[in-house]
């Protein structure tokens, strides 16, 4: 079968892009965007010149960390695991509207330290073109730290990223978006390890019950569950059992968001600022 000319063009642009750099450290989250970047870096630069680096942060799901480790093992990618300290920073844990800026600043500062061991390397991230149309304070931190975005710079949007990941046979090509756990806490409400653990355990239960995509928003004593609209009837049928389980996690109230899952829903509270 003849390869799609559009895919051929994207692959050629990416190959040309990687001729511009000597080596790279990719900020790896386990998601499809950064997975594609580190895969491409490994293919074009070689194992010793393409390092993946993931932050073992309380806001990262344990399942995402494990999947990231397995991805690197499967594709023979050098992985370094660091521990960032954003949760100790008031600019992060106080949960202002630019919390993501504080988070990415910590990450990119730590990766800049890693660069001292790899002279001539550059830091890469998984930003794609669609990200510029959303509220993402972390983009400013990337710019300030001279982080490069090969996907965006090559003109790839989210659909193109998934298509290419599938083309290369990457298992994560259709992995649902998995924003950090702190994104489940409304702005202005403190981010704590306890809350992040509650959210992770609550969402793990939904995964166990067969929901491929779900969010549990943390409203103090209330767990507000979001699943795709098509899954709402199934969730309704499990609600009583879910309430009992979530009560053990510390939620005295469990409700279903009848609108269904909307990525970035908590950003509506700050829409005039964006």
pLDDT at site 274: 42
- Residue 180 is among the residues annotated as catalytic for this protein: yes
pLDDT at site 271: 57
DSSP-derived 3-state class of residue 252: coil
First to last CA, the chain: 45
- Only one residue has tokens 């959303």, namely 134
Q: C-alpha 21: how far from its chain's center?
A: 25
* Residue 49: HSE in the Cβ half-sphere, 13 Å Cα cutoff: 13
Q: C-alpha 230: how far from its chain's center?
A: 24
pLDDT at site 24: 98
Q: Which helix (H) or strand (E) holds 193?
A: helix 193-208
Residue 169: partners with Cβ closer than 8 Å, 6 or more residues away: none
Digits of tens for pLDDT over the chain (274 positions)? 456 788 999 999 999 999 999 999 999 999 999 999 999 999 999 999 999 999 999 999 999 999 999 999 999 999 999 999 999 999 999 999 999 999 999 999 999 999 999 999 999 999 999 988 777 788 899 999 999 999 999 999 999 999 999 999 999 999 998 899 999 999 999 999 999 999 999 999 999 999 999 999 999 999 999 999 999 999 999 999 999 999 999 999 999 999 999 887 888 777 554 4
| Catalytic one of 53, 100, 154, 180 | 180
Give pTM, 2 decimals. Answer: 0.92
CA 215 – CA 181 distance, rounded (Å): 9
pLDDT at site 267: 80
Instruction: Write out pLDDT tens, residues 35-44.
Output: 999 999 999 9
CA 243 – CA 254 distance, rounded (Å): 6
């Amino acid at each position: 079968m003849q390869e799609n000319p559009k895919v051929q063009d994207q692959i050629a642009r990416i190959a040309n892009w990687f001729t511009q750099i000597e080596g790279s450290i990719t900020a790896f989250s386990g998601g499809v965007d950064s997975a594609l970047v580190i895969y491409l870096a490994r293919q074009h630069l070689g194992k010793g010149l393409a390092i993946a680096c993931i932050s073992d942060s309380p806001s990262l799901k344990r399942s995402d960390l494990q999947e990231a480790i397995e991805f690197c093992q499967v594709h023979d990618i050098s992985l370094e695991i660091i521990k960032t300290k954003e949760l100790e920073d008031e600019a992060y844990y106080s949960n202002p509207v630019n919390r993501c800026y504080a988070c990415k600043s910590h990450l990119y500062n730590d990766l800049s330290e890693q660069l001292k061991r790899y002279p001539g390397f550059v830091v890469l991230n998984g930003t794609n073109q669609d990200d510029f149309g959303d509220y993402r304070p972390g983009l400013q931190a990337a710019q300030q730290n001279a982080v490069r975005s090969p996907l965006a710079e090559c003109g790839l949007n989210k659909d193109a990223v998934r298509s290419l990941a599938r083309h290369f046979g990457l298992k994560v090509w259709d992995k649902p978006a998995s924003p950090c756990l702190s994104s489940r806490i409304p702005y202005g409400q403190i981010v704590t390890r306890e809350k992040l653990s509650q959210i992770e355990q609550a969402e793990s239960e939904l995964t166990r019950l067969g929901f491929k995509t779900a969010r549990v928003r943390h409203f103090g004593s209330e767990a507000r569950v979001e699943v795709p609209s098509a899954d709402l009837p199934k969730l309704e049928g499990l609600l009583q059992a879910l309430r009992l389980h979530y009560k053990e996690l510390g939620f005295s109230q469990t409700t279903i968001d009848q609108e269904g899952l909307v990525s970035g829903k908590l950003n509506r509270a700050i829409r005039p600022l964006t």
